Amino acid sequence: MVMTDVPAKIVYERPEALDPRVTHYCPGCTHGVAHRLVAEVLDEMGETGNTIGVASVGCSVFAYNYFNIDFVEAAHGRAPAMATGIKRVYPDRTVFTYQGDGDLASIGMGEIVGAASRGEGITVIFINNANYGMTGGQMAPTTLPGQKTSSSPTGRDTKRQGYPIQTAEMLSTLEGSSYIVRRSLHSSREIRRAKQAIRTAFEVQKHGLGFSLVELLSTCPTNWGMSAAGARDWLEERMLPFYPLGDYKISPAVAELKI
Amino acid sequence: MAKELIKGNTAVAEAALRAGLEAYFGYPITPQTELLEHLSARMPEIGRPFVQAESELGAINMVYGAACTGKRVMTSSSSPGVSLMMEGLSYIAGTEVPAVLVDVVRGGPGLGNIAPAQGDYNQIVHGGGHGDYHMLVLAPASVQEAVDLTVLAFDLAEKYRNLVAVLMDGSIGQMMEPAELPPFQPLKTDIPDWAVRGTGGGENRVLTSINLDPPAQEVMNLRLMKRWQEIEKNEVRYKGYYLEDAEYVVVGFGTAGRISLSAVRAAREQGIKVGLLRPITLAPFPKDVLDELTEKAKAFLVVEMNAGQMLEDVRLVVRGRKPVEFFGRMGGVVPYPDEVLTEIERLVDGPLTTEGHPRDRWLARLSETIG
């Protein structure tokens, strides 16, 4: 056996913030990727032991089972209010919500707009997969025009069912929001960009610069009725045109932030 | 500390702050708003969080989040706002975290009006939110009592990790009376073991109300019910007036109890042996004393500013052993002592019956009066 003098170096391992257990998420679902990105960022920032997460109602209702950090579980849509309560009594802790599109953009629209407009110093990880995942793929506020779901079986008819909500664009109009961006989890390149955005969002909070939100376009192969690869393609072809990736709000203070 | 002339809502706000209220979250609604307004000035003044939420839903869920840290937190509202908070109250109960709610009750249902009422008895005492849970409910009849019960509310909430509601008629919130405010308590420094605080390394805490395994959920339900039995054993509070030799007993809480006391005194001047039982804890309900009174008294008169919500709890204790009559005003109408006195006289004059339902007899009489 030839020994080399190159020392072994760990280049990839499970983040400390992530619990070593199998998730309940479907194969091909991007929740696992999003969880991992959040965990990596909290570890890299040294915030894992200083963070309180707020889980929401939806497929990520049990997100707290997968993180090694303090967590509370909110009522449907109310995570930003719960996070506000925690952040106000613990301003030096990192507080984040992890919410899906039904939770945040439908039933919880009041709470997210309230938190953003107050410039609440929390970070929101917003998973947009264009349907209600946990209840079996019903039409969500983010469902695309014409998209078939279990409650829009002939496709979303905009005459009867209206139009999807572009959350990042909408929240970016609020003076209280500081960092609002949309990223996607459909390719390695976009996943890396998503991680950078998540890092920036948490840095915004750590520096006391106000409300930060990262919208992550995500796949739901099971409810979309597609393979994992097919779902990634569908996201790229159908979701990206309606939900363009980009930075929708970078406040002047955030723009000066050096990471 | 000397007494000062102070409005009920303001007094409760100041009492909460002095009791170590660490964060307040609320939403404006009449007749509660002065409470929120007072804290909007005072909390920031002493460096404590105050948030005017986007809605009562927002407010109660901010309380929920802050309560998960084990700090002293509260919200306040009035009837329609409290209806909106029912979701959060159920979650707080299901997570077993302590929190205080002040409900300054107004006329309903719906928007109703902004006059004093007691129509929230059922939604506060008998649930409102989903699932099996109980709030400990304190009902003051004066500004001083509202102050004292607010301080007590925080202690009880923490002692039992249970929701405590101060159910205060709009009249108590709005009127000014001399009251002595409590001394300043320092903020709590100890964090309960169960509270989230930001801990990693496998020591992390999770607070949730979800439990998908029915048998495990049932164990949790049983724990809540046993805790409630403990509360029923330890925390019953009431005030009795002229009960020693009372042949007739009026039962009323809050403003209705206070007005009834004037009527009882007037009746005593006429030589009628009547007393008053004023429950201070509506939950746990003072069943034992009422049961003892059932043995002694000839008949009961329940007086409320609703259509007889506590009446049902009285009837459950009396169980048809003695006649029970009811007098109530609804919709924000506050009864006069004379009206209650007339009802006491009717009780004495008879005829009395244990048949039928007292509400039906009252509604028939009321229909003649107000049409």
Q: Has residue A4 got a pLDDT over 80?
A: no
Q: What is the pLDDT of residue B223?
A: 97
Q: Do A93 and B204 touch (CB under 8 A)?
A: no
Residues A149-159 pLDDT 10s: 999 999 999 99
Q: Do A118 and B91 touch (CB under 8 A)?
A: no
Q: What is the pLDDT of residue A2?
A: 65
Round to the nearest angstrom and report the end-to-end CA distance of chain A.
Answer: 44
Please check whether residue A82 is in contact with residue A115, taking contact to mean a CB–CB distance below 8 angstroms. Answer: no
Q: Has residue A1 got a pLDDT over 70?
A: no
Q: What is the pLDDT of residue A259?
A: 82
Q: Do B204 and A111 touch (CB under 8 A)?
A: no
What is the pLDDT confidence band of residue B340, given thresholds at 50, 70 and 90? very high
Residues B58-67 pLDDT 10s: 999 999 999 9
**Chain B residue closest to A94 (CA)?**
B198
Q: Per the domain annotation, does A243 fall within a domain?
A: yes
Q: Which CATH class is domain B4-183+208-234?
A: alpha beta
Please check whether residue B114 is in contact with residue B69, taking contact to mean a CB–CB distance below 8 angstroms. Answer: no
- Measure the CA dihedral B123/B125/B127/B128, to 10°: 10
Facing residue for B65 by CB, picked from A85, A114, A118? A85
Q: Do B207 and A84 touch (CB under 8 A)?
A: no
Q: In total, how many domains does chain A have?
A: 1
Q: How confident is the model over B77-83, as a mean pLDDT?
A: 98
Q: Per the domain annotation, does A24 fall within a domain?
A: no
Query: How is residue A149 written in tokens?
Result: 């779901």
| Amino acid type, B113 | N
Average pLDDT in chain B:
97
> What percent of chain A shows pLDDT beyond 70?
98
What is the pLDDT confidence band of residue A3, given thresholds at 50, 70 and 90? low
Facing residue for A72 by CB, picked from B71, B196, B200? B196
CA B176 to chain CA centroid, Å, is: 20
Q: Per the domain annotation, does A124 fall within a domain?
A: yes
Q: How confident is the model over B129-152, as a mean pLDDT?
A: 98
**Chain A residue closest to B194 (CA)?**
A70
- Residues in Cβ contact with B237 at an 8 Å cutoff, skipping those fewer than 6 apart: B138, B279, B280, B281, B286
What is the pLDDT confidence band of residue B86, given thresholds at 50, 70 and 90? very high
A92-130 burial code (b ≥16 CB/10 A, e <16): ebbbbbbbbbbbbbbbbbbbbbbbbebbbbbbbbbbbbb
CATH of the domain at A47: 3.40.50.970
Q: Per the domain annotation, does A83 fall within a domain?
A: yes
| Amino acid type, B172 | I
Residues A210-246 pLDDT 10s: 999 999 999 999 999 999 999 999 999 999 999 999 9
Residues A54-103 pLDDT 10s: 999 999 999 999 999 999 999 999 999 999 999 999 999 999 999 999 99
The domain ranges of chain B are: 4-183+208-234, 240-369
Q: How confident is the model over B356-362, as a mean pLDDT?
A: 97
Query: How is residue A132 written in tokens?
Result: 């209600």
Q: For residue A201, how many C-alpha atoms fall within 13 Å in the half-sphere facing its CB? A: 34
Q: Do A89 and B55 touch (CB under 8 A)?
A: no
Residues B190-236 pLDDT 10s: 999 999 999 877 788 999 999 999 999 999 999 999 999 999 999 99
Facing residue for B207 by CB, picked from A72, A113, A118? A72
User: Contacts of residue A82 in chain B, CB cutoff 8 Å?
Assistant: 61-62, 64-65, 68
Return d(Cα A42, Cα A38) in angstroms, integer: 6
Return d(Cα A76, Cα A102) in angstroms, integer: 9
Q: What pTM was computed for the model?
A: 0.96
3-state secondary structure at position B284: coil
Q: Is B54 touching A (CB cutoff 8 A)?
A: yes
Q: How confident is the model over B289-315, as a mean pLDDT?
A: 98
Please check whether residue A222 is in contact with residue A26, taking contact to mean a CB–CB distance below 8 angstroms. Answer: yes
Q: Do B201 and A49 touch (CB under 8 A)?
A: yes
Please check whether residue B340 is in contact with residue B325, taking contact to mean a CB–CB distance below 8 angstroms. Answer: no
**Chain B residue closest to A62 (CA)?**
B210
Return d(Cα A76, Cα A215) in angstroms, integer: 18
Q: Do B61 and A82 touch (CB under 8 A)?
A: yes
Cα four-point dihedral sign B165, B170, B171, B177: positive
Q: Domain spanning B240-369 has what CATH number?
A: 3.40.50.920
User: Contacts of residue B53 in chain A, CB cutoff 8 Å?
Assistant: 81, 84, 114
Please check whether residue A220 is in contact with residue A234, taking contact to mean a CB–CB distance below 8 angstroms. Answer: no
DSSP of B192-240? PTTS-----TT---EE-S----HHHHHHHHHHHHHHHHHHHHH---EEE
Q: Per the domain annotation, does A79 fall within a domain?
A: yes
Please check whether residue A198 is in contact with residue A192, taking contact to mean a CB–CB distance below 8 angstroms. Answer: no
3-state secondary structure at position A134: coil
C-alpha pair distances (Å), A157 with each of A50, A139, A144, B146: 46, 11, 9, 55
Q: Has residue B370 got a pLDDT over 90?
A: no
Residues A114-162 pLDDT 10s: 999 999 999 999 999 999 999 999 999 999 999 999 999 999 999 999 9
Q: Which residues of A make CB contacts under 8 Å with B?
A: 16-17, 48-52, 54-55, 61-62, 64-65, 67-75, 78, 81-86, 88-90, 93-94, 110-111, 113-114, 117-118
Please check whether residue A91 is in contact with residue A121, taking contact to mean a CB–CB distance below 8 angstroms. Answer: yes
Residues B89-136 pLDDT 10s: 999 999 999 999 999 999 999 999 999 999 999 999 998 899 999 999
Return d(Cα B171, Cα B122) in angstroms, integer: 19
Q: What is the pLDDT of residue B360?
A: 97
Please give the angle made by the CA atoms of B102, B103 and B106, to the nearest 5 degrees: 155
Q: Which helix (H) or strand (E) segment is B178 a member of?
A: strand B176-179
**Chain B residue closest to A54 (CA)?**
B65
Q: Per the domain annotation, does A215 fall within a domain?
A: yes
Residues 192-211 in B contacting A (C-alpha not used; CB under 8 Å): 196-202, 204-210
Identical topology for domains B4-183+208-234 and B240-369: yes
> What percent of chain B shows pLDDT beyond 90?
96
Domain with A122 in it: 31-151+161-256
Q: What stretches of chain B show up as alpha helix (H) in DSSP?
A: 8-18, 33-45, 56-67, 79-95, 121-125, 143-160, 170-174, 214-234, 254-269, 287-296, 310-318, 337-349, 358-370
Q: What is the pLDDT of residue B202?
A: 73
Q: How confident is the model over B151-165, as a mean pLDDT?
A: 98
